[in-house]
Structure 1
Amino acid sequence: MYQFWGITVKELLNLSSMKNAKVLAGEVGLERNITRLNVMEVPDIINWVEEGEFLLTTAYSMKDNIQGLEQLIIDLNNKEVAGLGIKIKRYINEIPKEVLERAQALGFPLIEIPFDISYSTILTESLTEIVNAHTNILSRISNIQNNLIKLMLDGGSLKEIAAAIHHSLDGNTVAIEEYIMGTQIIMSSKNKKIYKSLIDEEQDYLKRREIKKEHYKTGHTRSIDIIQDEEISRISIPIYSENIDYGYIFIWEDKRVLSPVETKVLESSTPIIALDIHKKMTILEIEAESKTEFLKDLFSGKEERIKRAFEKLSYLNFDINNSYSVIVIHIKENEIYKKYKTNVPNYISQLKIRLISIIDKISKDEDYNIISTPRFDGVVMLFGSRQDTKDSRIKKDIKNFCMKILSYAEHEGFNEYLNMGIGRNSDSPKEIWVSNREALKVNEYQNNQKGDKILFYEDLGIYKILSFEGLRPELNKFYNDILQDLVNYDKEKGTDLIITLKKYFEFEGNLKKISESMFVHYNTVVYRLQRIKDITNKDLNSYEDRLNFQIALQILDMTQEQNKFNS
């Protein structure tokens, strides 16, 4: 804490009691902070000092071993003592050259105290100054926080908060970047585009979450930006509350250098800013609830609930005369957990709101008719089109829309965790539930087959047939006849015959490639294929049997993925 409170060594030297003091060595350390003063007249003082202390001494305890002063300075510096003031000519006449050189090398302030000034005078004046500094800090913290609270109570925006900080720092450039809504506020007397580009360069959101560990220790980090061929220091302060990352405050010292006190004041203000952002999130979540209920009714397929949904059209952007396609964005929560381990629910919640914000922005920019709301594993949307729009045009528009979402996501570092499934366009609002079911089927396929991030139901091929609910009993029977015995054998014996069969089709029957892929001997693959033939009574040399195997493997994958998807 000493780095934020107290006075500097330089400020100590400006006191009237120290006006005749001389800096003997360690000038670069004059900005060290002093939080207390102590008198040193015993040889084992090193055991009792604390960081931030400034020591006063006559060097009485070292008068017979003045060379030991060099080691003492090393030890004091290691304990982050602010400096050492010595009264010369009482017990020692001068400081040895090697001691001065050591203090200079360490940047450790070594000060000659005026002989005629008493310790009590120095202690009284300096401690009064320290107390005043503490009081000033507390007052400034209180003033800034009170101003921010007043701004919020008066309905102040992030822009007004940024302006208040900008003003309090005498015009230093200030930016607030808020993740959830994707808001950037920049207050600067210079070209704002320069500062925006600097922020945009760092928008890998997940990467920021990792480096926050450093911020939690210090409250902020410092870095250097090159702005118009000039090195400008930037202070980055995370806006963080209750395990949720809300954004950052950036301050560039392009007008003047911030004091540690000012930095601490700004750090103490971040919970207030987080509260303002959280308030906006709450409003969005309330708005989303009505959309969620509307879509649940619409997707139910039940006439009574669909009728109830139509009663809510007055306050939703839904045109009953349009046709609609359902788009479901699935967030791959398991992959996020594998990479980051902690706080996944909070991150997923933020990601959904961020996606809604991105969708709203694109919709306004491109004049799309979109209704979007969070769902348990992502976001669901209705994409509206005029009834006379050709299917090819609708598909092109949806593809363009989804590509823009992925572009934003890539820019912010989370595109790899998204899949987008699109159902077929429905001319009748009463049939939109079919498009929703199809979009979910596409999500299942994407999760299982690792297909394209943007995928339309009509592009699924045979999977469309296999995923048809009415065929489920026949498909289960077909699977049992072709593959169930092989699956049971693998479970009982701990073998990999199913994997071998999949590799057989992946490498088009090339046994050498299969063996290399599975890291087994060529003859092992030959043996396994023979076991598959013996167990199933099916021959891989037969076109019909190969086709049956491939269909049965698709059914197996669908069943396994469906179980995971619904768990």
Structure 2
Amino acid sequence: MLTVKSFLQLAPFKTFQLVAGANGLTNEITGVNILDNPDASDWLSAGELLITSGYFFSENEEIQRRFIQRFKEINCSAICIKPHIYLKEIPKSIRDLADELALPIIEIPYGIAFSKIMNIVMAEISGRMNELNQASLDIHSQFFEISLHGGGMTKIAAGLAEMVNNPVVLVDTEWSVNAVSDEKQPLIQATIEKTGNTFRFPVQTFTDLPTDFERIQKPITRGIFVEKQEHPCVIMPVYFDTIHYGFILVYQTQRPLTDLDYVALENGSMAFALEQMRLFEIERTENRIRRDFFDQLLSGQIKDVEALAAYDTTIDPSLNYTVLILSIQSFGQTSTSLMQKKQSEDRLMKSLLSSLTTYTTNRFSHLHLFSRKNQLVMLLGTDRTLSSVKTHNEVSDTAERIRMYLEQQGHSEREIFCTIGSTLPIFELAQSFEEAKKVIQLLEGDLKEEKIYFFNDFYFDSFLVDSISKEQGKKFYAHYLNTLLTYDQENNTHFTPTLKAYLAHHLNIATTSRALFIHRNTLLYRIEKIKSLIPVDLEQEKNTFALQLALKLYELHH
């Protein structure tokens, strides 16, 4: 084993001078690294002997203290500094802090090449690799046993915590807590926050994380401040086969991590990823079974109680049911490929389905749900004896509560809206499902000013779309509106929406002007102009209906 003390006793380094941190002479040297870039500190490993000219912290005492503290948190073995280039001498502030932290500071004589130090140190420690490899195999075997026997996230956290002798927290990609090594550990209790039914780690406490640092796939060290005291925390991104599964957090409350601890951390991250893959596959299988059953139900293939009884389901055929479809669209995704986008969408839907299942289980006794692509499909059971008004209110209230819950779980760049079919007996749900899908089709391309849409409010629109072809619809609205639409387009006027409002308010000048926020005389001028641009008498009842139908067809096809 090469320690700092034995390093200084090697013949080539007899002229090196220990200037601070004498209490750390027993630190083990497991590697060597040259550091003259402040951003490279996240790439250091425990036990490394650092060699530097001090360039990046030569002028600022606060920066000097911050980096010496960071090197100690990473558990570097010692720092070799070559002064006289950027540092005239090793500052007293660095020496005092190094003494306090028991982190050896060694002055390199002028003229000694960094490469010479690296070559000699690597030659000295190369004999230890067999020992490290054997220890790595032992650690791998322990995690293999945990995974083999279905230990789950809790045992992975507990096993890793025992290996590294520090508390461990496992979180997913959204920083929701999957498992902790010890729920009663004071620092874990002080940092984990409860949000609804989930626990989260407040990642915002780390103010200096590198951009997209999860892609580094290497542990980094940052400080957690609790009651004005800083606690070093090692953050290990869990990445496997281009997929990001979450993070492992190790609170260094007992001791800094050694190079062997980092081996355990790497094996722990593999076990974490495999467990996540196992859980995802279980969820995918269960959802596929649910989806296959609901696909048959919603396509009308299950037609009677006997056929329904063949499935293990809690659906009650004595209730009426309503189909609700929650459509979820994410904005601002920065995925670099279609594969990454698909993976991101799949993780989002799995997360929302799992979270919503937990939320609804004890709140809505007759609610059944499954996911398909970017949608969550729900079947809500209601008492057949309820009036249509009470049923509508219950369905609407349930939809709003669930939609609000999902919005609270996600980011502001997600749009969530709900479309709702008719309430029908269980074996007629195919109609309700088609109606909810039809509303999504009718809303395509529109701004979703509302968040909940009932098919009953779109019945006329649906009838027009299904009964009148696009060509017929275009001919119809062109006959009545073509001159008016052309005039608006060429003159940047708004006579078409004025006509729509005028017809909607039954040709009432007072209510129309108030609705449009314009003066009565302005509206009268517009009406006279509109009359000169349309081919029919606006005052005749049959024409007002024809114009309303033309406007509706125009909206449906634009």
The TM-score, its normalising length taken from structure 1, stands at: 0.67
Residue among 376, 390, 394 paired with 1:396: 394
Mapped to 1, the partners of 2:443 and 2:28 lie a distance apart of 59
**In the alignment, is residue 537 of structure 1 matched against residue 531 of structure 2?**
no
Task: Give 3-state SS (helix, strand or coil) of 1:236's partner.
Answer: strand
Bigger mean CA deviation after superposition, 310-319 or 502-511: 502-511
Task: Give 3-state SS (helix, strand or coil) of 1:350's partner.
Answer: helix
Matching residue's letter, 2:430: W
Q: Is the 8 A contact 2:177 2:201 kept in 1?
A: no
Q: Is the 8 A contact 2:169 2:179 kept in 1?
A: yes
**In the alignment, is residue 320 of structure 1 matched against residue 320 of structure 2?**
no
TM-aligned CA distance change 1:490 to 1:145, over 3 Å:
farther
The residue that corresponds to 2:200 in the other structure is: 200
- Cα distance, 1:146 vs structure 2: 2.5
Q: Is the 8 A contact 1:223 1:233 kept in 2?
A: yes
- Cα distance, 1:161 vs structure 2: 0.8
Residue among 437, 440, 444 paired with 1:440: 437
Mapped to 2, the partners of 1:218 and 1:445 lie a distance apart of 45
The residue that corresponds to 1:68 in the other structure is: none
- Cα distance, 1:361 vs structure 2: 0.8
- Cα distance, 1:245 vs structure 2: 3.3
Q: Deviations over 1:221-259 (max 9, x none)?
A: 444333355332333323333343322222222333334
- Within 5 Å, give how 1:324-339 maps onto structure 2: 324-332=321-329, 335=331, 337=333
**In the alignment, is residue 187 of structure 1 matched against residue 181 of structure 2?**
yes
Q: Deviations over 1:191-239 (max 9, x none)?
A: 55433308636489xxx9x977223236244443333553323333233
Mapped to 1, the partners of 2:30 and 2:412 lie a distance apart of 46
The residue that corresponds to 1:468 in the other structure is: 463
TM-aligned CA distance change 1:445 to 1:222, over 3 Å:
farther
**In the alignment, is residue 173 of structure 1 matched against residue 167 of structure 2?**
yes
Mapped to 2, the partners of 1:313 and 1:466 lie a distance apart of 39
The residue that corresponds to 2:89 in the other structure is: 100
Q: Is the 8 A contact 2:82 2:108 kept in 1?
A: yes
Q: Is the 8 A contact 1:324 1:385 kept in 2?
A: yes
The residue that corresponds to 2:455 in the other structure is: 457
Mapped to 1, the partners of 2:57 and 2:478 lie a distance apart of 74
TM-aligned CA distance change 1:440 to 1:185, over 3 Å:
same
Q: Is the 8 A contact 2:480 2:550 kept in 1?
A: no
Mapped to 2, the partners of 1:252 and 1:384 lie a distance apart of 47
Q: Is the 8 A contact 2:484 2:534 kept in 1?
A: no
Q: Is the 8 A contact 2:80 2:108 kept in 1?
A: no
**In the alignment, is residue 377 of structure 1 matched against residue 371 of structure 2?**
no
- Cα distance, 1:411 vs structure 2: 3.0
TM-aligned CA distance change 1:216 to 1:134, over 3 Å:
farther
Q: Deviations over 1:432-456 (max 9, x none)?
A: 1121122223334555241332333
Q: Deviations over 1:325-372 (max 9, x none)?
A: 111111225x355x6565221122122222221232123222522332
Q: Is the 8 A contact 1:23 1:112 kept in 2?
A: no
Task: Give 3-state SS (helix, strand or coil) of 2:346's partner.
Answer: helix
Mapped to 2, the partners of 1:22 and 1:348 lie a distance apart of 57
State how many pairs are aligned: 487
Q: Is the 8 A contact 1:240 1:246 kept in 2?
A: yes
Task: Give 3-state SS (helix, strand or coil) of 2:450's partner.
Answer: coil
TM-aligned CA distance change 1:100 to 1:450, over 3 Å:
same
Matching residue's letter, 1:422: I
Bigger mean CA deviation after superposition, 134-143 or 158-167: 134-143
Mapped to 2, the partners of 1:140 and 1:111 lie a distance apart of 34
Mapped to 1, the partners of 2:374 and 2:306 lie a distance apart of 23
- Within 5 Å, give how 1:59-208 maps onto structure 2: 73=53, 83=80, 99-101=88-90, 109-111=105-107, 126-127=121-122, 130-132=125-127, 134-170=129-165, 172-178=166-172, 184-188=178-182, 189-191=184-186, 193-197=189-193, 200=200, 202=202
Q: Deviations over 1:157-188 (max 9, x none)?
A: 11111111121222x32221236997631222
The residue that corresponds to 1:47 in the other structure is: none
- Cα distance, 1:151 vs structure 2: 1.2
Mapped to 2, the partners of 1:254 and 1:542 lie a distance apart of 84
- Within 5 Å, give how 1:27-66 maps onto structure 2: 35=31
- Cα distance, 1:379 vs structure 2: 1.9
Mapped to 2, the partners of 1:77 and 1:226 lie a distance apart of 24
The residue that corresponds to 2:216 in the other structure is: 217
Matching residue's letter, 1:282: E
TM-aligned CA distance change 1:252 to 1:312, over 3 Å:
farther
Mapped to 1, the partners of 2:464 and 2:304 lie a distance apart of 25
Residue among 403, 406, 411 paired with 2:404: 406
TM-aligned CA distance change 1:336 to 1:244, over 3 Å:
farther
- Cα distance, 1:318 vs structure 2: 2.0
Task: Give 3-state SS (helix, strand or coil) of 1:321's partner.
Answer: coil
- Cα distance, 1:129 vs structure 2: 5.2
Task: Give 3-state SS (helix, strand or coil) of 2:297's partner.
Answer: helix
Q: Is the 8 A contact 2:217 2:236 kept in 1?
A: no
The residue that corresponds to 2:225 in the other structure is: 226
Matching residue's letter, 2:321: Y
TM-aligned CA distance change 1:279 to 1:539, over 3 Å:
farther
- Cα distance, 1:144 vs structure 2: 3.0
Q: Is the 8 A contact 1:486 1:498 kept in 2?
A: no
Matching residue's letter, 1:292: R
Q: Is the 8 A contact 1:32 1:82 kept in 2?
A: no
Mapped to 2, the partners of 1:350 and 1:309 lie a distance apart of 37
- Cα distance, 1:311 vs structure 2: 4.7
Q: Deviations over 1:132-155 (max 9, x none)?
A: 554454444433332222211112
Q: Is the 8 A contact 1:149 1:272 kept in 2?
A: yes
The residue that corresponds to 1:287 in the other structure is: 286
Mapped to 2, the partners of 1:123 and 1:481 lie a distance apart of 84
Task: Give 3-state SS (helix, strand or coil) of 2:423's partner.
Answer: coil
TM-aligned CA distance change 1:137 to 1:311, over 3 Å:
same
Structure 1 unpaired stretches of 5+: 1-5, 39-50, 56-71, 87-94, 114-121, 515-522, 561-567
- Cα distance, 1:421 vs structure 2: 1.5
The residue that corresponds to 1:250 in the other structure is: 249
Task: Give 3-state SS (helix, strand or coil) of 1:245's partner.
Answer: strand
The residue that corresponds to 2:344 in the other structure is: 347
Q: Is the 8 A contact 1:373 1:381 kept in 2?
A: yes
Matching residue's letter, 2:314: N
Amino-acid identity (%): 16
Q: Is the 8 A contact 2:160 2:268 kept in 1?
A: no
Matching residue's letter, 1:396: E
Structure 2 unpaired stretches of 5+: 35-44, 59-70, 72-77, 99-103, 110-116, 503-511
Matching residue's letter, 2:190: I
Matching residue's letter, 2:404: L
Mapped to 1, the partners of 2:321 and 2:105 lie a distance apart of 74
The residue that corresponds to 1:296 in the other structure is: 295
- Cα distance, 1:32 vs structure 2: 11
Q: Considering only aligned residues, what root-mean-square deviation do their CA atoms show, in Å?
A: 5.4
Matching residue's letter, 1:481: F
